[in-house]
Structure 1
Amino acid sequence: MRAVWGGFALGVWWLQQQAALPGRGGWFALVVAAVAAGAWSVWALAGAAVTERVRCDACDDRVRPAPAAASGRWPRRYLVRFIRPSGWLALWVAAACAGFGYASFRAQLRLADALPVAWQTRDIEITGYVAGLPSWSEDGARFPFTVESWGAPTAADGLPHTIQLTWVARDAPLPPLVPGARWRFAVRLKRPHGERNFGLRDAEAAMLARGVRATGYVSDSLRAQRLADDASGIGIRIERWRAAVRARIDTVLADAPHRGIVVALATGAQDAVSDADWRLMRNTGTSHLVAISGLHLAFVAGLGGWAAGAFWRRARWRGVEAPLIVPAQKIAVAGAVCAAGLHAALAGFNVPVQRALWMLAVAAVAVLSGRNVARSQVLAWALALVLIRDPWAVTAAGFWLSFGAVAAILFAAAGVPRVRRERREGDAPDNVDPMSDAAPVVSRANTMRRLLMHARNAARGMAVRLTDAARVQWAVTIALAPLTAYWFAQIPLIGPFANALAIPFVSALVTPAVLASVAIPAPFDAFILRAAHAMLDLLAAVLGWFDGVSWAVLRLSQPSAWALACAALGVAWCLAPRGWPLRWIAPFMWLPLLVPAPTGPPAGAFRLTALDVGQGTSVLVETARHTLLFDAGTGPESTHAGERIVVPYLQAHGVQSLDMLMVSHDDSDHSGGAPAVLDQVAVKQFAAGIQPDHPLWASARRSGAQVIQCAAGQRWHWDGIDFEVLWPDAGPLAGKPNARCCVLRVSTTGQGDATAALLAADIEAATERTLLARAADRLRAQVLVVPHHGSRTSSTEPFLDSVWPLVAIFQVGYLNRFHHPHPGVYARYAARHIVLTRSDSDGAVRVEARNGALAVERYVDTQRRYWMDVPDD
């Protein structure tokens, strides 16, 4: 079954890498391949089984071959050496086809629910109920909502059942949003859409996995109406329970700094964890502590099994002791599964919890049925059950980290029990308890000898447990390092030391306290919750010391596929059992991961990446050895693009420091993300077109950056590339922010035709006319980052005729409220036969420029997936 479920998982993963779902031809080919592979596997495995040697009836060492007729004209050595392996390969292929087909079927069903394009950004009245735990913020709440009826005049079949709503508190506090409460809302919706950037998490895949087929907001709070009857069902009851637990924690801890961690340990909801706590845990490799993992589930299961077994051993039924009816061991196993199921429900059934629950359930079924199942089989069954329930789990980091950690532990522990058993058998005299009935009677003079023997046995047992714990920690650290580098662009080197303290501390003290507070009614839970928070305060102080170590975090660029494969092979080689040949080679397999290939362009060329930050601007310009970031997207006042997108993109692509951060002007969609960049990325020089009293100047100085006000005439040269600031004029800044934007021109030099890019920020028509009168000869550029996102106040005809770009990049948000780009402006570009790219449909755009040559790559050209709503050309 390991091969079957492994192939099934591979098929599911392969479907999630496809740009489109299979059509009729694809389904036909898939079915044919599955049937052919299945038939071959049955024939090959059955034929090879017939030709295998069988033991004689006498059960001695003699063997006899199978009858010659069974093997036909095939010699046995070919059947055993070739046919049987090919049969297993065919079975694996058939399972992969089954997984691919199953995931395709589920995807087609889910994508069938779609919001009509004509309904987007229109006021629609809907009726339904709050389907889950709301996520609260300072200005409102976000919550899943199940639609029961649509008030649209042309409601049709195939409309979304689950949507995600945001309700902003404008004039008054929001009413309680209890799971299961029915509401009638006036909303504005749009299809699921997330920012699309190279190497970053796909938010659309996450929404698809949750079944969210539309997002939007409550457009008129005055028309929101709470209905009398509430929804019911087991799922709603569980969500209400989670909401009640969270409300109790919020009431007791209020504004406590680590309240979010307590909420996460109790309910699995991580939205309340503060940014400071996330940063501390990421840098120390302890982020898993806020996830309700298998360790926590095992603790609850063990407690539940012990309680169920203890009760059953003392129970009687009609005068007959209960263990005589059903063994207490089986009742304990059933109680453990029930307790784990309750805890998993409270945790929200995330992927790590599902994995642990399914492993426990499979092991329980094996125990109850009297079967002995290998641990790898248990993991394989859990893998299959997780993917059957949620085929999109393979797109989440938690899936890979959770299953990778358990697989590493099982692989590293292979052979250890056997070796330990052999050692115990060889040391049998030392293991005999001298105090047992079988031991000889000893005199008082030997009392000290017996005590020393007990102490030695206790010390040996403690050493064994510590050795096992160290082996597990070593295996998990080594195994998850490549995955951590891939998903988070860093490896916390301090992680093993921090986890050696944090894991037992949280598992033995904090988590039991939090779970006890869930079981104890209010107001008696307040003391335990405050004690749990005090312990988290102590842990944060210790982790802060670990974080202060200079070598705590090794930041890496996101590894390529072949580097990741080499590192995975090195992990398997390193964790192999003793006796595995050439284990010293393993560290060399990690070199592609630790020393990635240079990602910068060659000398004399530059790379321009216009990030998809929604409604805002952020452009990264790279030369052979230097980097410049022009604007940083939005900040906390909007979508946190600087922290969510810009900083992770820089880290994922190996940009550990910026030679210059240029903030064009003081608009939040350009400057809002700059504090996050200054806080998390080293910046050597900070240039901006903002007023002298702006807080960004102080932030830049605190980060150690040299600060300058950008002004026309500033020039510098990096790696064969010229940089020139064309606007604003030197001196005090006057006028509104758009009138004093920094305008930057980047161009190649050397022989041949120069290739240039113009980053025009938010300049408007008046500035364009001034630039035409003053520096028309220097405006010519093949790449233009469109002024003011395509607003009708910019991109005048004379300006476009002077620049005459070959490629125009519109950085705009999906269905943004400003309606950028303006249809007339967009048509103005299209009439000049310019290659047009839009971040709202194309995602991030990468331009490779060298003398006389351009190469343009859109995100959707190479990273498109079947769930992306991309208009066809």
Structure 2
Amino acid sequence: MRTGMVALALGLLALRFLPALPSVGWWLLMPVAGLMLLPFRTYPVAFFLFGLSWACAQAQWALDDRLPSSLDGETRWIEGRVTGLPQHGEAVVRFELADARSRHAKVPRLMRLAWYDGPPVNSGERWRLAVKLKRPAGLLNPHAFDHEAWLLARRIGATGSVKGGERLSEARWAWRDGIRQKLQTVDAQGRTGALTALVLGDGAGLSREDWQVLQDTGTVHLLVISGQHIGLLAGLVYLLIAGLARYGLWPNRLPWLPWACGLAFMAALGYGLLAGFEVPVRRACLMIGLVLLWRLRFRHLGAWWPLLLAFNGVLLLDPLASLQPGFWLSFGAVAVLIFTFGGRLGPWRWWQTWTRAQWLIAVGLGPLLLVLGLPISLSGPLVNLLAVPWISMLVLPPALLGTLLLPVPYVGDGLLWLAGGMLDWLFKGLTVMAGQIPAWVPVAVPWWAWSLGALGAILLLLPQGVPLRPLGWPLLLVLVFPPRPTLPDGMAEIWQLDVGQGLAILVRTRHHALLYDAGPRVGDNDLGERVVLPTLRKLGVDGLDLMLISHAHADHAGGARAVAKGLPVKRVISGEPGELPTELQAGDCESSRQWTWDGVNFELWRWADARESNPKSCVLQIEANGERLLLTGDIDTAAERALLDSPLAVATDWLQSPHHGSRSSSSAVLLATLQPKAVLISRGQGNSFGHPHPSVIARYRARGMAIHDSAEQGAIRLQLGNFKPPWSMRQEPRFWRSAK
């Protein structure tokens, strides 16, 4: 039976790694084949086919419920019910609309919407909304968070922005939102957002600085409800009833063990529902239920069996859960603990158990965090020694009890005030630690190196005295100091990052790195911090020899400050140095300035007579082994004419589309003179500017130019100097990524 459960788990999990879904006929045939194999005692194969078939069916239904391409970018009237907990930000409210329908078109049942400068929106309300619809999409960059996979895992079939609407009915059965609104009125000593995250699993009230502190210290799991909180509450209820029975305070007519098990599970389930029943909570509730069931029947249940059943239970309920990083971290942490503490010949003292558990989890989850592209907290093992009992013993009990007793005057408020104070003390300590030891963003490693590092982590988790265990340290160090491929002299690696409506291009030679523009920043949404800086680190860029900001517009220069803060930058130059933040100490773009790095030639140009920002863009020509790329910023047709009188007006293989493909650029005379074979376009999907303009695309196609668009292809990698086609992120085979 256990072999069959393992095979079922592998079948359910195989979905995550499929480059494409099999046709409907194949996944309908798989369970039939499984049933035919059962009489021949080939249970593992049959169970694997059952799991894979069910997972493929669920994935196909989710894909079929996505917005049709014909409606992408259109505005439609939609009716639906607000679900979950709406996130009220500065001048915007984001929420999910369930049971969505439109009179004149078939739309996805679940959408994620944003309403700028709109009225308050509460869970459970029904609305009729005018929505500009978009197909599920996200920025695609190397080793980065896959937003499109996250949307599919949550079965969100469309996103959109609300243009207007009317409320059709008031909230119904929105008890979680009601609790949140009450919590937001409580004096929690400035930690209302953290308290709401702990009680309800709603992290919308945490500031960006709070999230960074939690990430740097490896304590995100403490504020986003995890299985630890669920298990703690169930254990407290069980121990309370067991203690009452032991001292004769439990009614004799009620058998204490069934009541202890039943009430403990009800407490766990209730807290799980309060928290939104996400993957870690589902896993915890299933495991607690199994353990209590076996305890009730006086049978010893090994630790791996309930973990396996919980694993299958979560995936059977939602096979797409494997697309979320939280699924892997949740089960991975429990598996590390079971592997570490299971089969030991002698017990550890309590302090040894506690300290070793922390660093062993750090070692065991390190390779998993790396492959998921997540930062690794270096201070986490130390911080969690204090933070875990602080939250579990001092914060969580008054927080939950205070929430339950909110209707009682003064009592509920007092308990929540106490919990908020404890949280504030914790955050002050975490902030100090985060300032001293920030999270480490490791360099992406090849699969063979990752496999060696993962093997090293497994060896270190083994008990002392096991042969070959000491080899774990050198193997693990492969992840810390991975081999890095080097470019030959005369070659340049070009990465046009996917930063939406903006520009960021990384240029690397054998020993040097240059960043041309740093991505956009709109309000608090800094893509230099969120996308450009982490991507540079994961690509192995330790510092920049030059950061060239074409001009001072926010879609090109907005992320420059974050990049300069996060990486050593030797020099900054720009077409508008005086308009950039003073701490960047930017120099002027000097026309005709040339230099050579590792056999690759660079030359600058700027229109001296430019009066406005866009035509002042600093233009960069890169030549490697006779192959040329021209980076043009946002120059317009007037600047293009001036460029044609410069030394850069030579045959060019690659052109970065001026001004994102605006019709005020890419003039016919520029294209005729440069004769580019291909063009790189960096822009946001469905942007409000209409970039690239159809007339510009028509000119490109008329000349037979290959068009490479970040909105369609994600980040694009070009090896300048080998005259080969580029590679794009969307070429990575993933069943949830449709070719655009």
| TM-score, normalising length: structure 2 | 0.93
Q: Are 1:495 and 2:380 counterparts?
A: yes
Taking the TM superposition and a 5 Å limit, the aligned residue runs for 1:404-443 are 404-416=332-344, 419-420=346-347
Deviation at 1:348, TM superposition (A): 1.4
CA distance in 1, matches of 2:450, 2:490: 31
Structure 1 residue aligned with 2:177, among 243, 256, 266?
243
Aligned equivalents of 1:531, 1:816: Cα separation in 2: 47
Partner of 2:148: 204
Aligned equivalents of 1:39, 1:559: Cα separation in 2: 45
Matched, 1:708 2:587: yes
Distance in 1 between the 2:148 and 2:252 partners?
52
> Max radius of gyration: which structure?
1
Quote the residue 1:807 is aligned against.
678
Equivalent position of 2:166 in the other structure: 225
Q: Say how many residue pairs are matched.
A: 738
Residue pair 2:504, 2:515 contacting (<8 A) in 1 also: yes
How far the C-alpha of 1:268 sits from its partner, in A, is 0.7
Correspondent of 1:854 among 710, 716, 724: 724
Task: Give the whole-Å Cα distance in 1 for the aligned partners of 2:610 and 2:669.
Answer: 25
2:189–2:424 CA contact under 8 A, matched in 1: no
CA distance in 1, matches of 2:248, 2:2: 41
- The farther-off stretch of 406-415 and 469-478 is 469-478
Structure 1 partner of 2:534: 648
Aligned counterparts of 1:609 and 1:535: Cα–Cα separation in 2: 46
Deviation of residue 6 (structure 1)? Answer: 3.4
Match of 1:261 in 2: 194
Aligned to 1:766: 638
Trace 1:654-733 onto structure 2 (pairs within 5 A): 654-690=540-576, 692-694=578-580, 696-698=581-583, 700-701=584-585, 707-729=586-608
| Letter of the 1:545 counterpart | V
1:516-531 alignment runs, 5 A limit: 516-521=401-406, 524=410, 525-531=412-418
Query: In structure 2, how many angstroms separate the alpha carbons of the residues matched to 1:544 and 1:740?
Result: 42
List gaps (5 residues or longer) in structure 2: none
The 2-side partners of 1:674 and 1:253 are apart by: 38
TM-aligned CA deviation for residue 311 of structure 1: 7.8
Cα separation, 1, equivalents of 2:441 and 2:524: 28
- What is the match of residue 533 of structure 1? 420
Shift of 1:20: 2.2
The separation in 1 between residues aligned to 2:188 and 2:694, in whole angstroms, is: 49
Name the stretch that deviates more: 715-724 or 3-12.
3-12
Structure 1 residue ranges (4+ consecutive) displaced by more than 6 angstroms after TM superposition: 310-316
| 3-state DSSP of counterpart to 2:670 | helix
The alpha-carbon distance between structure 1 residues 712 and 3, as it changes in their structure 2 partners (threshold 3 A), is farther
Q: Which one-letter code corresponds to 2:605 in the other structure?
A: L
Distance 2:70 2:468 in 1: 63
* 8 Å contact kept, 2:188–2:419: no
Shift of 1:26: 4.0
Question: For residues 2 and 559 of structure 1, what CA distance do their matches in structure 2 show?
Answer: 35
- Alpha-carbon distance between aligned partners in 1 of 2:707 and 2:447, rounded to the nearest angstrom: 31
How far apart, CA to CA, are the structure 2 residues paired with 1:166 and 1:594?
A: 40
Does the CA-based 8 Å contact 1:241-1:346 persist in structure 2?
Answer: no
Q: How far 1:280 moved relative to its partner?
A: 2.0
Q: Name the amino acid aligned to 2:169.
A: A
Tell me the C-alpha RMSD between the 2 structures. 2.6
* Contact 1:313-1:323 at 8 Å conserved across structures: no
1:614 aligns to what?
A: 500
Residue 396 of structure 2 is aligned to residue 511 of structure 1 = yes
Report SS of the residue matched to 1:677. helix
User: CA contact under 8 A between 1:606 and 1:721: conserved in structure 2?
Assistant: yes
Contact (CA 8 Å) 1:489, 1:652: kept in 2 or not?
A: no
Q: Equivalent residue for 1:624?
A: 510
Cα 1:143–1:539, aligned 2, differ >3 Å: closer, same or farther?
same
TM-score (norm 1): 0.80
Q: Which moved more, 1:472-481 or 1:379-388?
A: 472-481
Matched-pair identity in %:
35
Cα separation, 2, equivalents of 1:310 and 1:501: 27
Q: Distance in 2 between matches of 1:379 and 1:514?
A: 29
Instruction: Give secondary structure in 2 for the equivalent of 1:837.
Output: strand
Work out the CA distance in 1 between the residues paired with 2:505 and 2:405.
53
Q: 1:379 aligns to what?
A: 307
The 3-state SS of whatever aligns with 1:713 is coil
With 358-367 and 378-387 compared, the bigger mean Cα shift is at 358-367
DSSP-derived class of the 1:853 partner: coil
Contact 1:355 1:382 in 2 (8 A): yes
Residues 778-797 of structure 1: matches in 2 within 5 Å? 779-797=650-668
SS in 1 for 2:355: helix
Task: Report the Cα distance in structure 1 between the residues aligned to 2:33 and 2:467, rounded to whole angstroms.
Answer: 38
SS in 2 for 1:683: coil
- Code of the residue aligned with 1:499 in structure 2: it is N
Q: Is the 8 A contact 2:100 2:108 kept in 1?
A: no
Partner of 2:232: 299
In 2, the alpha carbon distance for the partners of 1:104 and 1:190 equals 25
Structure 1 Cα separation of the partners of residues 148 and 514 of structure 2: 29
Q: Give the superposition deviation at 1:92.
A: 4.2
- Indicate whether 1:775 and 2:647 are aligned: yes
Q: C-alpha deviations, 1:729-762, integer Å up to 9, x for none?
A: 3xxx85221111111111125xxxx112111111
* Equivalence for 1:746: 622
CA-CA distance at 1:790 after TM superposition:
1.0
Over 3 Å counting, the alpha-carbon distance change for 1:734 and 1:162 in structure 2 is: same
Aligned to 2:646, the other structure's residue is in SS state helix
Q: 1:647 to 1:250 in 2, by over 3 A?
A: farther
Code of the aligned partner of 1:660: L
- Given that 1:608 and 1:848 are in contact with CA atoms closer than 8 Å, whether structure 2 keeps it comes out as yes
Please give the per-residue CA displacement for 1:8-50, whole angstroms capped at 9, x wherever unaligned. Answer: 333333322333210156447745874687566x1xxxxxxxx
Q: Does the C-alpha gap of structure 1 residues 791 and 101 become closer, same or farther in structure 2, counting only changes over 3 Å?
A: same
Q: 1:5–1:383: 8 Å Cα contact kept in structure 2?
A: no
Distance in 2, matches of 1:613 and 1:123, equals 25
**Aligned partners of 2:632 and 2:658 also within 8 Å:** yes
Partner of 1:187: helix, strand, or coil? strand
What's 2:434 paired with? 547
CA deviation after TM superposition for structure 1 residue 342, in Å:
1.0
Aligned partner of 1:167 among 102, 115, 118: 115
Amino acid at match of 1:348: G
Question: Hey, what's the Cα distance between the residues in 1 that align with 2:252 and 2:446?
Answer: 58
Q: Which residue among 56, 60, 66 is the counterpart of 1:114?
A: 66
Q: Call closer, same or farther: CA 1:259–1:618 in 2, change over 3 Å.
A: farther
1:585 is the counterpart of 2:471:
yes
Q: Which amino acid aligns with 2:112?
A: Q
Amino acid across the alignment from 1:510: V
**Residues 255 and 673 of structure 1: CA distance in aligned 2, closer, same or farther (over 3 Å):** farther
Distance 1:209 1:620, change over 3 A: same
> Which residue pairs with 1:458 in the alignment?
none
3-state SS of the aligned residue for 1:134? strand
1:233-283 per-residue CA deviation (whole Å, 9 max, x = no partner) reads xxxx3xx23222322332235993x44322211111122222222222222
**Aligned equivalent of 2:735:** 866
C-alpha change, 1:697 and 1:724, in structure 2 (3 Å) is farther
Is the 1:206–1:396 Cα contact (8 Å) retained in structure 2?
A: yes
User: 2:145 touches 2:373 (CA, 8 Å); kept in 1?
Assistant: no
| Distance in 2, Cα, partners of 1:32 & 1:589 | 44
Q: 1:718 to 1:38 in 2, by over 3 A?
A: farther
Deviation per CA, 1:791-826: give whole Å up to 9, x if none.
111111111122222221111211222221111211
Q: Aligned AA for 1:97?
A: L
